[in-house]
């Protein structure tokens, strides 16, 4: 079984509110079906979630009643995105079912506390692709919070021990510097704790879930269980399919033994 995260930066334009990249997703679905692997799919919220969530500071939990309208709007928007994703998956020949985090997960102090993993397992046994996504969920201490796609990836990886964990982003991987600003920036093919700590911290858009650094921390924890985790550019045709087939692809990988 493979665990795949389609980042919000790939399937949406993260700086333009509610902008869906249907053609990109259709191509990625074709790559998934061509690889003929059993899949659990997580997708990011992108511009359907991060922009409004950041405006209302939802990642910090409840502080003011005025946030509630923001909670409702983000939940509405991310479900609209999820429905668009499901339509593309089903049309592409990958029968899929949505498992919204608000229905199957809860947080405690911003950390994923409970996840109904059995629901994912039963749908896999039925021959369907379980799909979940970044969402606002209840928090036992803060009343609500953001359950990120990366938090879900980590828990699902721990429970299912997939053959490979793949994060599809909008860049080739992790670089020594921002490649948009530094022409000498180099791709880091294997990420270690030392390289992560040395990376410059930059932020290009509203992101309430930790951006690339939180993703790398998640990948390191996944790799500590013995599986490979790779971040690659989902915008480049063929890379996701190659990774699903176990081929070597351009990207940044954390492997067991580097944590």
Dump pLDDT digits (tens) for 46-79.
988 889 999 999 999 999 999 999 999 999 999 9
Structurally, how many domains does the chain consist of?
1
| Close Cβ partners of 243 (under 8 Å, ≥ 6 residues apart) | 164, 166, 230, 232, 249, 251
Reference 142, options 111, 166, 178; nearest CA is 111
Type and span of the H or E element at 97: strand 96-98
Mean pLDDT by 10 residues, the chain (259 residues): 94 90 97 96 92 92 96 96 97 97 96 97 98 97 95 94 92 83 88 75 50 74 79 96 95 69
Q: Range of 17's domain?
A: 2-254
pLDDT tens digits along 112-140: 999 999 999 999 999 999 999 999 999 99
What CATH number should be reported for the domain holding residue 89?
3.40.1160.10
Residue 8: phi, psi to the nearest 5? Answer: -60, -25
What is the model's pLDDT at position 94? 97
- Residue 259 belongs to a domain: no
CA dihedral 27, 179, 20, 77 (to 10 degrees): 130
Percent of the chain with pLDDT over 90: 71
What is the model's pLDDT at position 146? 95
CA dihedral 215, 219, 222, 225 (to 10 degrees): -150
């Amino acid at each position: 079984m493979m665990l795949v995260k389609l980042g919000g930066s790939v399937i949406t334009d993260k700086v333009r509110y509610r902008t869906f990249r249907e053609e990109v997703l259709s191509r990625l679905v074709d790559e998934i079906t061509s690889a003929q692997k059993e899949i659990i799919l997580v997708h990011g919220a992108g511009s359907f979630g991060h922009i409004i969530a950041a405006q209302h500071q939802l990642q910090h939990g409840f502080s003011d009643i005025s946030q509630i309208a923001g909670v409702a709007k983000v939940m509405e928007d991310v479900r609209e995105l999820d429905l668009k994703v499901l339509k593309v998956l089903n049309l592409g020949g990958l029968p899929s079912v949505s498992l919204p985090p608000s229905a199957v997960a809860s947080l405690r102090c911003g950390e994923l506390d409970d996840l109904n993993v059995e629901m994912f397992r039963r749908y896999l046994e039925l021959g369907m692709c379980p799909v979940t996504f970044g969402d606002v969920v209840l928090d036992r201490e803060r009343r609500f919070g953001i359950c990120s796609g990366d938090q879900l990836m980590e828990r699902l990886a721990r429970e299912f021990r997939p053959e490979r964990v793949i994060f599809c982003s909008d860049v080739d991987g992790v670089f020594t510097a921002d490649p948009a600003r530094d022409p000498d920036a180099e791709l880091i093919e294997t990420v270690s704790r030392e390289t992560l700590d040395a990376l410059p911290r930059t932020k290009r858009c509203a992101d309430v879930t930790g951006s690339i650094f939180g993703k790398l921390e998640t990948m390191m924890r996944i790799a500590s269980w013995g599986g490979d985790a790779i971040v690659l550019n989902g915008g480049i045709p063929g890379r996701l399919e190659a990774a699903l087939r176990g081929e070597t692809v351009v990207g940044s990988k954390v492997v067991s033994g580097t944590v």
